[in-house]
Amino acid sequence: MKIQENVSLGELTTFRTGGAARYFASVKNISDLKIAVRFAKEKKLPFFILGRGANVLVSDAGFCGLVIKMEIRGIEVKELLNKKARAIAGAGEEWDSFVAKTVKRKLCGLENLSFIPGTVGASAVGNIGAYGTEVKDHILFVEALDTETMKVKKFSNKECSFGYRESFFKTKEGKKYIVTRVTFSLKKNGALKTDYKDVLEFFENKKIISPTQKNVREAIIEIRKKKLPDVSFVGTAGSFFKNPVVSKRKAGALKETYPNLPFFLSGEKSVKIPAGFLLDKVCGFKGYKKGNVGTWENQALVLVNYGGATTKEILDFADVMKKKVKEKTGIDLEMEVKVIK
């Protein structure tokens, strides 16, 4: 494995902005990964794991350390008794191709997470979610390299401490681990989740009464294509902010000013408010554009690089949005996208 120098990172991310990595290594197996980590340690440099770059923003000054591009591949499927199955995938496998393979084998569980850009490893790190499903509901184990002991450890689902776009691997203690492989628990011809509003409407319109798993995947892809920008043409990292979680009391007070404010239970005393609603209906940011940066025409939560934007422009734009939401609602929006600096 070759360690390259001064590799431009912009095109390796879906936002397509930012500077170069001082050092860069593509790792295809655990032995490559260990070599890369040892290199960074010897040079006393920080390292950063890059998957598809669909949830990151690279600083304009680049990254003064080693970027490790995760390319550990391999998919293994084991069908067990009672229609149960396990699918094991390398952290560098492309997420949607992996989902497509499970759907082809009629192994249910991941179909609602179709068409999310990224890698298998990052899906566990960020506990991706969409259309009523979170990946944590189907993860059995996560294997990860401990960069201190240089040994691979197997984490149970519980040990991963999954939360909303969170996991142990995002915590201070968990950051020393690099995910190498994930084992998913799936079910042959299992139950499908079609009760999400957009999905229900899709099947109603198409007059499909008993959708199959393949129908669900196709529906999700079609809905996402209509709602979200195509990363092949438009620079974006999807939802820029997390949906804020606030107390029920706070949500009740806001509902007096904004009677249409939607929210979902998120604990005994808290609710989750769609950040998209705050940015669109409360602050009027849908389709707003300034210079090379804007929000997507169909979704104010999705920030877009319309071409030639810098990371600073995107962060400044996001700051304006954050301030307006705070001013109007008192809520502090938290970024979902991670800045590499």
Ligand X SMILES: Cc1cc2nc3c(=O)[nH]c(=O)nc-3n(C[C@H](O)[C@H](O)[C@H](O)COP(=O)(O)OP(=O)(O)OC[C@H]3O[C@@H](n4cnc5c(N)ncnc54)[C@H](O)[C@@H]3O)c2cc1C
Minimum CB distance to ligand X smaller for 52 or for 250:
52
Q: Which is nearer to ligand X, 77 or 234 (CB)?
A: 234
Identify which of residues 41 and 84 has a Cβ nearer to ligand X in the complex.
Answer: 41
Residue 70 Cβ vs ligand X, minimum distance, rounded to whole Å: 5
Q: Which two three-digit tokens encode residue 35?
A: 């070599």
Residues 53, 287: Cα–Cα separation, whole Å: 24
Residue nearest to ligand X (CB): 51
Pick the closest to residue 40 from 147, 127, 189, 123 (CA basis): 147
Label residue 6 exposed, middle or buried (CB < 10 Å: 0-12, 13-18, 19+). Answer: exposed
Decide if 266 is catalytic.
Answer: no
- Nearer CB in complex with ligand X: 213/236: 236
C-beta closer to ligand X: residue 99 or 179: 179
CB of 220 to ligand X, least distance (A): 9
Name the catalytic one among 16, 52, 165, 217. Answer: 165
Active site residue 239: yes
Smallest gap from residue 228 Cβ to ligand X (A)? 5
**For the range 254-257, what are the long-range contacts, defined as Cβ-Cβ under 8 Å and sequence gap of 24 or more?**
254/329
Annotation says 336 is catalytic: yes
| Active-site residue identified among 111, 134, 143, 336 | 336
Closer to ligand X by CB, 62 or 118: give it.
Answer: 118
Nearest distance, CB of residue 52 and ligand X, angstroms: 3
Each residue of 160-193: b (16+ CB within 10 Å) or e?
bbbeebbbbbeeeebeebbbbbbbbbbbeeeebe
Residues engaged in binding ligand X (CB under 6 A): 14, 48-56, 70, 91, 116-119, 121-123, 125-126, 128-130, 169, 178-179, 228, 231, 236-238, 338
CB of 135 to ligand X, least distance (A): 8
In the complex, what is the shortest distance from the CB of residue 195 to ligand X, in angstroms, rounded to a whole number?
A: 17
CA–CA gap between residue 249 and residue 288 (Å, rounded): 31
- The catalytic site residues sit at 165, 239, 336
